[in-house]
Structure 1
């Protein structure tokens, strides 16, 4: 962002200084920026540049090498599919605010981006930079202009029309954030494929993953992934897949941490139910479905157990309050 702002003659100290940041403190590869500070950074950059569409500019500038060992592993992979597998496996070493996973159906593949943090007014910048950036990286690594489309959960920003010609086919207000493309593209060879460099980069990524696993409580990591960006919750199988381990291993690791998946999911269901019921635009039937209940009666019994109230009574108390 600091480098990008130079296009508008904004020097890094002018952008970062008032936020208590500096280029020096952000330079180390292991430096991390809290989400609240990142949002403030985006807001200040927009104010100084008077440009709302910073996410597109960041996407254009994105290079695989900017993502450290994860980017190096992806760059030196044999095929596009292998590069995406490495990216989704090790993305957590870069941030826990977002995660990636692949979905495949007949003839189509999709790289799905899950949000695990509230980016506030910076959400469009994050999603455009990431999805458009990944598309740009794919073009660079294969030496081809890849065809496909992009879906976003967010509404269409007012500025998007200025950049629509630069992006793949785009749809807004969709169920998930994803890049969709012909699954035959996964077998495309990469221009910089290098088995030795890939092995070295992957080993570094594995070490970073192990350090992360030992430094962060397994229950905390699991709970972050249980919650979906649409307000619903994930199953044990879904979470285990996203954490790149078997369901048996996940349950064992949670037990070692003194937790259980069912208890964590129950806790997240309660929190999600209360959040969703505070909105008056979602029918209770739809909320029950999002939370994984087969019918409203089962959801009502669970909600009574949590709060000693029915969902309708809880909603009425919140809406009237």
Structure 2
């Protein structure tokens, strides 16, 4: 791919409609979704004045995709940012611009949880005002909310959308366009605020300007001004962020640098493995002789039956690890590189 283009965090595929704020797609709408209600008037300008300084605009250079992504983050410590994993996935360079003082800071990934779409960043700087974290267990259908973010990746003053909580316990499903892996997010707060691409990782706040949700998705009709947004409950997001900050890796939480095979894959179909569709020329896979069209069936003897399975297995490794990549008809030894997160 030549040149570069602006890419708001986006994933695609699956079921009903494209959820453009994260590119997630809606999988189910539970029966507890309430009828559409007119939003309770809120002073969105007041929310922006109070909460805006507690967020950052995130720019992600996606070097292997010749693109630039944009999203939002919430300041949870003077130099620590909470955001979505998909905002930083594939980033070879990250910066965060403070809404509070306009400063731009280099950022590194402390860790991420791809399955729950959470990432935590460390800024090379500090002193930022910290968000007022609320209790998402107290959120009810009909509550007035305001969602803030970096709509369109424009930067500067945050975008602000007000609305109501329209449902709880929602589920969405998504596919990552580069790795081919899929994920399902559950327990989401659905809101009738018009969240847009670039708002991912921003806060949804209650009437007291307390953060109760982490913006993560929106229906594809956001551009018509009547979309539905989805947010990860802040209690869940902060629990995972705490685990990441403690350095406690798990089956879903990855801490530190990311192991890099240097290939993009899709499902081979029928559980046959992960078929390589792209090989990064400078990556370790290319050096080991992996080619587009090869089907990966195992890593160190662990079966690979899908693109998602390959991603999950590689998450268990770190840069410098030697692995045996099983292919249909042969195998190759690869020393994993240091790759982009997520």
* Fold in common (TM above 0.5): no
Q: TM-score, normalised by structure 1?
A: 0.27
Please tell me whether Structure 1 or Structure 2 has the larger radius of gyration of its CA atoms. 1
Name the one with the larger strand percent.
2
The one of the two structures with greater contact order (alpha-carbon pairs below 8 A, sep at least 6) is: 2
Give the TM-score of the pair, scaled to structure 2: 0.26
Structure 1 or 2: larger helix share? 1
